[in-house]
Amino acid sequence: MWTKEEVLRLIKERTAERLPLSHSVVVRDAEALTGAARRLFGSWGAAVEAAGLNYREIKKQARLTERYPVGYWSTQRIVEMIRAREVLGLPLNPHAVQNEDSKLYAAAAQYFGSWGKAMEAAGIDYLEHRKTRGWDAETIIQ
């Protein structure tokens, strides 16, 4: 028989063991726990909050790590993803990539030093895709 105390104890135990607390992961690992939490607290999030944790922050972190888990990025993976964007006809200019896949953009900057260098590593001419152009005196006058 589940009790509120047992649910809270198991949530705190998962925290101590550094196990994920996002609903989707806990349902996979311990469906009975999430079911008991819903019955006793109204929702999984309410049970996590009752255990003294910030469920909104847990959900935010889960979205980030579920999409790109720790250890996901490498120079090879970044190059592959840039090339995939090109094949799919997705924009490769920095602004578009920052808006559409900020994690890819950030990883490229971290691993290669800049988005342009990452594109060069992928064999793509960065200047062909860059939306902003350099300004020279003649262009400014025009």
Q: Provide the pLDDT confidence category of residue 120 given band limits of 50, 70 and 90.
A: very high
Rounded to whole angstroms, the Cα distance separating 88 from 48 reads 40
Q: Are the CB atoms for 51 and 87 separated by under 8 Å?
A: no
pTM: 0.50
**Residue found by looking up tokens 């006058």 in the block:** 141
Q: Please tell me whether residues 8 and 63 are part of one structural domain.
A: yes
Q: Please tell me whether residues 52 and 82 are part of one structural domain.
A: no
The DSSP letter of residue 131 is: S
Q: Does residue 82 sit within a domain?
A: yes
Rounded to whole angstroms, the Cα distance separating 81 from 101 reads 10
Q: Per-residue pLDDT for 132 more than 70?
A: no
Question: 12-50 pLDDT, tens per residue?
Answer: 999 988 888 988 888 888 899 999 999 999 999 999 999
pLDDT of residue 61: 76
Can you give the residue range of the structural domain that contains 28?
A: 4-67
Residue that is last in its domain, among 25, 45, 67: 67
